[in-house]
Amino acid sequence: MFIIMLGTAGSGKTSLTKVYSEWLRNQGYNVAIVNLDPGAKVVPYSPDFDIRNLFTVEELMVKYGLGPNGAFMKASDMILEYSDKILSHSVFTKPEYEFVIIDTPGQMEVFVYRKSGHYFISKLKKLGPTVGVFIVDGETMSTPIDLVVAWTTSILIQLRLDISVVPIVNKADLIKNVETVKLIVEDIDSFKGLIMKSKEGLISETAMYLASIVKEFSQSMRPVIVSAKTSKGIEELHYLIHEAFCVCGDLS
């Protein structure tokens, strides 16, 4: 099974890749780790496949005279170009791996919104069941509207990448109001009440409408709030991924 870590820059994709892979290995699973971020300076795990062996953002900046954003776009296009080569690596083809965790580029948009992510995942899906984890940065969630936007983004990514995507919140150790975060999954009507209290007019109406869409289409079957720092919630993350995997078939 392939698990793709997605999320905005700094949300914790790399940190959770490390913590979740360690947790799985402690449970006795055979796990491989893939680093697909050519811009990473250091990663806290030992990757079984590392895109940086093919190219790095820094090399592309020098070679093509690009700034950091241009080099990230070039890198994204190169992931697409190299897709077949990358996916022929044993880490993707070896049936012994029960879980292959894929850490994606720091800046989510280069993977999600350019062609490379969609193309790469369309090929990956042919090799085995694939689930995306959309990591929401708990530190930046201060209002109910922030949460609706994050959950809606997760649905958009699901549409864009054409895989089941589960939203989870990271940095539990920094979240002040955990109960509000849980509400978006557990009780959307009470959550809508919070939206109404926090805003009025068109913004509130838009957020309420999006909350209804979240209720209908989100893959969040349970609220999962984790911390890559303290390892809290990793077991719940595992069960959520497992559930998403079980309903994968319903999506296609």
Ligand X SMILES: Nc1nc2c(ncn2[C@@H]2O[C@H](COP(=O)(O)OP(=O)(O)O)[C@@H](O)[C@H]2O)c(=O)[nH]1
What is the C-alpha separation between 187 and 183, in angstroms, rounded? Answer: 5
What is the C-alpha separation between 168 and 237, in angstroms, rounded? Answer: 8
Ramachandran category for residue 130: left, alpha or beta (phi over 0 → left; psi -120 to 50 → alpha):
beta
Helices (DSSP H) in 106-200: which residue ranges?
108-112, 115-124, 144-161, 178-186, 188-198
Nearer to Mg ion, 106 or 132 (CB): 106
What is the C-alpha separation between 44 and 214, in angstroms, rounded? Answer: 34
Binding mask 6-25 for Mg ion (x = CB under 5 A): -------xx-----------
Binding mask 99-138 for ligand X (x = CB under 6 A): -------x--------------------------------
Cα→Cα distances 151→81, 117, 191, 213, Å: 31, 20, 13, 10
- Closest approach, Cβ 42 to ligand X, in A, equals 10
Among the listed residues 1, 10, 113, 243, the single contact to ligand X using CB under 6 A: 10
Nearer to ligand X, 11 or 153 (CB): 11
What is the C-alpha separation between 15 and 18, in angstroms, rounded? Answer: 5
Residue 229 binds ligand X (CB under 6 A): yes
Residue count, binding to ligand X (CB under 6 A): 16
Burial class (CB in 10 A: 0-12, 13-18, 19+), 207: buried
Residue 52 binds ligand X (CB under 6 A): no
- Report the site for Mg ion in 99-118 (rule: CB under 5 A): 106
Residue 11 binds ligand X (CB under 6 A): yes
Residue 153 binds ligand X (CB under 6 A): no
- Closest approach, Cβ 7 to ligand X, in A, equals 5
Residue 154 binds ligand X (CB under 6 A): no
Residues that bind Mg ion (CB under 5 A): 13-14, 106
Residues that bind ligand X (CB under 6 A): 7, 9-15, 106, 170-171, 173-174, 227-229
